[in-house]
């Protein structure tokens, strides 16, 4: 619905412009806006199916993030502060292990904060998406 409002706002702005500004408007921009309006106001089955496929990708991404949050929560609940370690591994197979409790706690805190930001952003994307 927001996209329709944006396109209508653009159309109103163009309408209120002076005739010289409208004449100078690029023909491609006009055709693009008309096409966007048609897609939003009279969507085809193909268009809606594509939108659904994109929505499913967003939903999969959101579910992946929630699964990672659950894994991190389980890690936190099961930790006792003495035996935790973090292993970093790169694509070449090199790895580094950290077992210092303070470092592990800081890394986990950063992971929690970033993951919460990603989930919040993902949720906003899903709530704002229109099929």
Token output for 82: 């003495």
| pLDDT tens-digit series, residues 8-34 | 666 666 655 555 555 556 778 888 888
For residue 21, what pLDDT is reported? 58
Are the CB atoms for 112 and 120 separated by under 8 Å? no
Across the chain, what does the average pLDDT equal?
A: 85
For residue 42, what pLDDT is reported? 83
- The confidence band for 71, taking pLDDT boundaries of 50, 70 and 90, is very high
Cα four-point dihedral sign 93, 114, 55, 47: negative
Distances in whole angstroms, Cα of residue 28 to Cα of each of 4, 32, 73: 19, 6, 51
Fold of 45-131: Helix Hairpins (1.10.287)
Which whole number is the average pLDDT over 100-115?
Answer: 93
Cα four-point dihedral sign 83, 87, 103, 115: negative
For residue 17, what pLDDT is reported? 56
What residue ranges of the chain are covered by domains with CATH 1.10.287? 45-131
For residue 13, what pLDDT is reported? 66
Give the per-residue SS3 of 83-113: CCCEEEECCCCCEEEECCHHHHHHHHHHHHH
Which whole number is the average pLDDT over 92-109?
Answer: 92
């Amino acid at each position: 619905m927001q996209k329709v409002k944006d396109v209508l706002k653009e159309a109103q702005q163009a309408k209120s412009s002076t005739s010289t500004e409208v004449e100078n408007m690029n023909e491609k921009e006009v055709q693009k806006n008309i096409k966007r309006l048609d897609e939003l106001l009279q969507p085809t089955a193909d268009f809606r199916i594509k939108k659904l496929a994109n929505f499913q990708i967003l939903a999969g991404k959101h579910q992946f993030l929630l699964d990672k949050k659950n894994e991190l929560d389980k890690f936190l609940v099961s930790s006792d502060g003495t035996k935790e370690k973090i292993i970093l591994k790169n694509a070449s197979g090199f790895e580094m292990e950290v077992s210092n409790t303070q470092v592990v706690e800081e890394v986990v805190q950063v992971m929690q904060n970033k993951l919460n930001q990603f989930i919040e952003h993902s949720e906003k994307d899903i709530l704002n998406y229109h099929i």
